Amino acid sequence: MDDGLDDAELERHLLQRWETPHGVWNALATVDHKIIARRYLVTAFVFLILGGLLAVAMRIQLAQPEARILDPDRYNQIFTMHGSTMMFLFAVPVMEAMAIYLVPLMVGTRNIAFPRLNAYSYWIILVGGLLLWISFALDAAPDVGWFAYVPLSGPEYGSGKRADIWAQMITFTELSALAVAVEIVVTVFKQRAPGMSLDRIPLLVWSMLVMAFIVIMAMPAIMFASSTLILDRLVETQFYNPAAGGDVLLWQHVFWFFGHPEVYIIFLPAAGMASTIVATFSRRTIFGYLPLVMAFIATGVLAFGLWVHHMFVVGLPRLGEGFFTASSMAIAVPAGIQIFCWLATLWLGRPVFATPLLFVIGFIVTFVIGGLTGVMVASVPFDTQVHDTYFVVAHFHYVLVGGAVFPLLGAIYYWFPKMTGRMMSERLGRWAFGLIFLGFNLTFFPMHILGLLGMPRRVYTYQPELPWAGLNLFISLSALLLVSGFVVFFIDVLRAWRSGEPAGPNPWKAGTLEWATSSPPPAYNFRRIPVVDACNPLWVHPDELAVTTGLRVDRRELIASSVVEALPQARESSPRDSIWPFWAAIATSIMLIGSIFTPWAVVWGSIPIAVTLIGWFWPKGTAEDTS
Amino acid sequence: MKERAVLDVSKLPLHGMGTASPAWWGTCGFMLIEGSGFALAIAIYFYLFSIAPNWPIDAPAPDLFAGTALTLLLLASIVPNILVLRWAKARALVKVRIGLIAMSLLEAAPLAPRIFEFPAMHVSWDENAYGSIVWTLLGLHTTHIVTDLIDTLVLTCLMFSRHGDNTRRYGDVEDNCLYWTFVIVAWLPLYVCIYWVPRL
CB B134 within 8 A of CB B194: yes
Q: Do A224 and B162 touch (CB under 8 A)?
A: no
Residues of B whose CB is below 8 A from A529: 9
Q: How many domains does one find in chain B?
A: 1
Q: Could you say which DSSP state residue A8 is in?
A: H
A-chain residues near B198 (CB < 8 A): none
B99-126 b/e (C-beta count within 10 Å ≥ 16 → b): bbebbbebbebbeebbeebbebbebebb
Greatest distance between any 2 Cα atoms in chain B: 76
Q: What pLDDT score was predicted for residue A624?
A: 53
Determine, yes or no, domain membership for B163.
yes
**CB within 8 A of A270, min separation 6: which ones?**
A95, A363, A403, A404, A406, A407, A408, A411
**Model's pTM, two decimal places?**
0.95
Number of CB atoms found within 10 A of residue A56's CB: 15
Nearest residue to A139 (alpha-carbon basis) of A86, A78, A89, A85? A78
* Cβ contact B88:B160 at 8 Å: no
Residues 80-119 (A) with a CB less than 8 A from some CB of B: 113-114
Averages of pLDDT over each 10 residues, chain A, 627 residues: 81 92 94 97 97 97 95 94 96 96 97 96 96 94 93 89 94 95 97 96 97 95 94 95 95 93 93 97 95 96 86 80 82 92 96 96 94 89 92 95 94 97 96 97 97 95 94 97 97 95 94 95 95 94 91 91 94 93 97 94 93 88 54
Taking contacts as CB-CB distances below 8 angstroms, the residues of chain B near A244 are 57, 127-129
pLDDT at position A620 is 74
Q: Which domain holds residue B156?
A: 42-51+60-199
Residue A622's pLDDT is 56
Instruction: Judge whether B145 lies within some domain.
Output: yes
Q: Which of residues 212-271 of A touch B (CB under 8 A)?
A: 216-217, 219-221, 223-224, 228, 231, 235-239, 241, 244-247, 250, 253-254, 257
Contact A246 B162 (CB under 8 A): no
Q: Are B8 and A549 a contacting pair at CB < 8 A? A: yes
The burial of A13, by beta-carbon neighbours within 10 Å (0-12 exposed, 13-18 middle, 19 or more buried), is given as middle
Residue B150 lies in a domain: yes
State the pLDDT at residue A623. 52
**Which residues numbered 290-319 in A keep a CB inside 8 Å of some CB on B?**
none
- Would residue B90 count as lying in a domain? yes
A546 interface with B at CB cutoff 8 Å: yes
B7 found inside a domain: no
Give the CA distances from residue B75 to residues B31, B70, B81, B114, in Å, rounded to whole numbers and listed in that order: 19, 9, 10, 15
The rounded distance, in Å, linking the Cα atoms of A612 and A588 is 10
Beta-carbon contacts of residue A261 (< 8 Å; ≥ 6 apart):
A214, A217, A218, A303, A304, A307
Rounded to a whole number of angstroms, the distance from the CA of B115 to the nearest CA of chain A is 17
Residues A618, B157 contacting (CB under 8 angstroms) = no
The pLDDT value given to residue A57:
97
Best A1, A5, A186, A217 residue to mutate vs chain B (most B CBs within 10 Å): A186
Distance separating alpha carbons of residues A205 and A292, to the nearest angstrom: 12
Whether B18 maps to a domain, the answer reads no
**Per-residue pLDDT at B97:** 96
Q: Which residues contact B53 (CB under 8 A, 6 or more apart)?
A: none
Q: Residue B131 pLDDT more than 90?
A: yes
Give the other-Cβ count within 10 Å of B154's Cβ.
Answer: 15
Question: Is the backbone peptide bond immediately before A151 cis, with ω within 30 degrees of 0?
Answer: yes
* DSSP H or E run through A569: strand A568-573
Yes or no, beta carbons of B125 and A235 under 8 Å apart: yes
Residues 6+ apart with CB under 8 A from A562: A569, B20
Residue B169 CA: distances (Å) to CA of A118, A152, B176:
22, 50, 10
The shortest C-alpha distance from A41 to chain B (Å) reads 24
Rounded CA gap, B102 and B155, in Å? 13
Contacts of B96 (CB under 8 A, 6+ apart): B84, B87, B88, B159, B170, B173
Residue B151 lies in a domain: yes
Kindly report the CATH number assigned to the domain that includes residue B148: 1.20.120.80
Closest CA relative to residue A239, chosen from B137, B141, B200, B122 = B137
What is the value of ipTM here, to two decimals? 0.93
pLDDT at A305: 84
Q: Is B15 part of any domain? A: no
In whole angstroms, give the CA distance from residue A373 to residue A328.
12
Helix H or strand E encompassing B6: strand B2-8
List the one residue out of A375, A374, A380 whose CA is nearest residue A321: A380
Give Cα B173 distance to the centre of its chain.
Answer: 14
Residues in chain A with CB shorter than 8 Å from the CB of B128 are 238, 244-246
Residue A136 has a CB neighbour count (10 Å cut-off) of 21
Preceding omega of A520 cis (within 30 degrees of 0): yes
User: From the centroid of its chain, how far is CA A407?
Assistant: 12
- Confirm if A587 and A609 have CB atoms less than 8 A apart: yes
Q: Is the separation of the CB atoms in A231 and A261 below 8 Å?
A: no
Helix (H) or strand (E) run with residue A261 in it: helix A248-282
**Chain B positions in Cβ-Cβ contact with residue A178 (cut-off 8 Å):** 33
Q: Which helix (H) or strand (E) holds B15?
A: none
A550 and B9: CB-CB below 8 Å?
A: yes
